[in-house]
Every structure is written in structure tokens, then in C-alpha cells.
């Protein structure tokens, strides 16, 4: 597979992309600690799945506390802010339209160590 030519991403764009990665990872980790439903909901159990012994089930969900809902809202607002910063950065105007997808993918992986 041909390599995308090295791009000289501006530092503020690299920083915004790194912050986006970190914030998304933080949100995903935080979400694992939350109840399965934001609103209080009764639990359920499904019938056994055909050709397996798997039975899908969820316990009762107490819903999110006010603090949890506020933290989710904070994460989402920050993710939106960073996504807008990255996607509307003036750098993209300097990249040919046909190369922008490849450049965007390169930016998403710019934080990874280079292969030897």
C-alpha cells in the first residue's frame, strides 16, 4: 500500500487531535462505569437464543445521578468542541480536496510511533 506523503501538520492541529483522542478515551472509560440507561429503567431477561445457551439480560438501572449526567454532558461538549476545531482548522484549505481524506487519516495516526 503506498504511503501518504509526510504532511507538516501545524502544532495546534496536532494538539487538538491528541486532545480529541484523549478526551474520547476518557469518555469511553467513564461510560463503562455508568448504569446501562441514563433514565431509571427496569431490568429484563430475554429468551434463550436459538442454537446457543446465551440469554441476554440487564439488571435494573437506577439511571444517572446529577453528577454523572453533568460529567457526560461535559465530555460531550468537549468532544464536540475538539471535533469542530480539528475539522474546521485552516490547514485543510491547504490540502487538495482529493487528498483530504488521506490527510485526515494521517492526522488521526500522527501520534503513533513511526514503524522501523
Q: What pLDDT, in 10s, does the model give residues 34-44? A: 999 999 999 99
Q: Is residue 77 part of a domain?
A: yes
Q: What pLDDT, in 10s, does the model give residues 77-95? A: 999 999 999 999 999 999 9
Q: How far apart are CA 97 and CA 20, in angstroms?
A: 23
Number of domains, the chain: 1
pLDDT score at 6: 58
Q: Is residue 49 part of a domain?
A: no
Q: Is residue 5 part of a domain?
A: no
Residue numbers of the domain that contains 80: 11-37+65-108
Name the phi and psi angles at 68, rounded to 5: -65, -45
Q: Is residue 89 part of a domain?
A: yes
Question: pTM for the complete prediction?
Answer: 0.82
Q: Is residue 46 part of a domain?
A: no
Q: Is residue 88 part of a domain?
A: yes
Q: What pLDDT, in 10s, does the model give residues 10-59? A: 999 999 999 999 999 999 999 999 999 999 999 999 888 778 888 889 99
Q: How far apart are CA 76 and CA 73, in angstroms?
A: 5
Q: Is residue 84 part of a domain?
A: yes
Mean predicted confidence (pLDDT) in 70-81: 98
Q: Is residue 116 part of a domain?
A: no
Amino acid at each position: 500500500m503506498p504511503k501518504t506523503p509526510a504532511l507538516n501538520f501545524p502544532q495546534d492541529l496536532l494538539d487538538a487531535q491528541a486532545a480529541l483522542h484523549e478526551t474520547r478515551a476518557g469518555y469511553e472509560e467513564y461510560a463503562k462505569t455508568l448504569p446501562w440507561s441514563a433514565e431509571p429503567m427496569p431490568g429484563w431477561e430475554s429468551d434463550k437464543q436459538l442454537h446457543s445457551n446465551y440469554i441476554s439480560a440487564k439488571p435494573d438501572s437506577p439511571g444517572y445521578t446529577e453528577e454523572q449526567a453533568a460529567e457526560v454532558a461535559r465530555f460531550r461538549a468537549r468532544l464536540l468542541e475538539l471535533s469542530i476545531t480539528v475539522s474546521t482548522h485552516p490547514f485543510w484549505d491547504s490540502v487538495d480536496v482529493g487528498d483530504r481524506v488521506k490527510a485526515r487519516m494521517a492526522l488521526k495516526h500522527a501520534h503513533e510511533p513511526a514503524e522501523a
